[in-house]
Amino acid sequence: MIFAQGLIKEFGCPVPQQINLLGLDRPALEDYFVSLNARAFHARQLLKWVYQRGITDFSKMTDLGLPLRQVLSETAALALPQIASDQHASDGTRKWLLRLEDGNCIETVFIPEEDRSTLCVSSQVGCALNCSFCATAREGFSRNLQTSEIIGQLLLASQTLIAEGFGPRPVSNVVMMGMGEPLLNYDAVVSAMRLMLDDLSFGLSRRRVTLSTAGVVPAMDRLARDCPVSLAVSLHAVEDELRSKLVPLNRKYPLAELLNACRRFLANDNRRKITFEYVMLEGLNDSIEDARKLARLLRGIPAKVNLIPFNLVPGTPYRCSAPEVINRFREQLLCDGLVTITRRTRGADIAAACGQLAGEVRDRTNRSTRLGASEIGR
């Protein structure tokens, strides 16, 4: 019998709380097996069972010895969130409301397209950034998601879609663009993204995993070193005054600093581009002059611009720019040499579009505490 060193308390009883192995990336899983007095390479076997074959029952992992399987079933678990609801939009977009162990719910969105299928993954329960045009902000902030809850969204979506006949690899791209600010939950998000990239689990290329941030500058520098996935930056305005109203984080990391961080992010990799997201708000940021300023601001940064038609969020004062205004804005950017696309709104009839994810946030932190104590500052 192999003893679970470190998992057995001094007096010999197993720790009652089982460890959720979905929370461990490959190095952490190797450490875990070593802590069981087992060999590190079992981590590789376990990753393949879980992420490539969709097996979460230890007893079926036949290349692990029986005693090890038994220790695992006593001390560990592979626990996924529960599906609380499952909505289908008329355009094929799918939204799952997932219930977590503590009763909080988050949303995950699957967006099938002709040449790819993208999963939009949440990183926090609610969001602390309080962007004035976003539905998630209105829910307040409850807590960071754990690695297991982040990778669990991808595993659950993949398993569900495979069972429905979507083929062996139903998710080709992941965007960290669901609820929350991923760079304010750095460690768990990076661990989960490492699992997405690991050849023994999902094996997605770094081009197919995109993290979107409102601009947490120090964490952007860390990300470039630790896990250089594709980066999207929520810009939304070309001047600090308006950007601070839309994205209060701008007061801490204003435009000039943010754009310098973008330059640093790309410094060692001249084949890549940063995607700049720009929500089109009628009469606020959608003039031709704004487009010209945007092109000037991004000069010298390998960039693509993603124009996002504003999706209605009840209780906000904003409206979406008219289609011809968005077109003109886009033409101006193209004229100035910027690769620009207008993002198609997907899943609006089930409130699955950008900025519409609300989930069900419990135990929300008091807003004044939140703003005082968080990264945002004033």
Residues annotated as part of the active site: 107, 354
Nearest residue (CB) to ligand SAH, 177 versus 227: 177
* CB 307 within 8 Å of CB 280: yes
> Tokens 């519409």, residue?
356
* CB 359 within 8 Å of CB 97: yes
Residues forming contacts to ligand SAH in the complex (CB under 6 A) are 131, 133-134, 177, 181, 212-214, 234, 277, 279, 308, 310-311, 313, 354-355
Nearest residue (CB) to ligand SAH, 57 versus 349: 349
Max CA distance (Å), the chain: 73
- For the CB of residue 232, give the shortest distance to ligand SAH in the complex, in Å: 6
Nearest residue (CB) to ligand SAH, 6 versus 254: 254
- For the CB of residue 108, give the shortest distance to ligand SAH in the complex, in Å: 13
Task: Say how far apart CA 49 and CA 91 lie, in whole Å.
Answer: 33
**DSSP conformation letters of 146-212:** PHHHHHHHHHHHHHHHHHTTS-S----EEEE-SSS-GGGSHHHHHHHHHHHH-TTTT---GGGEEEE
Q: Which residue is nearest to ligand SAH (CB)?
A: 355
- For the CB of residue 129, give the shortest distance to ligand SAH in the complex, in Å: 6
- For the CB of residue 136, give the shortest distance to ligand SAH in the complex, in Å: 7
Nearest residue (CB) to ligand SAH, 295 versus 313: 313
Query: What are the CA-CA distances from residue 97 to residues 23, 79, 100, 166 (Å)?
Result: 20, 16, 10, 20
* CB 376 within 8 Å of CB 128: yes
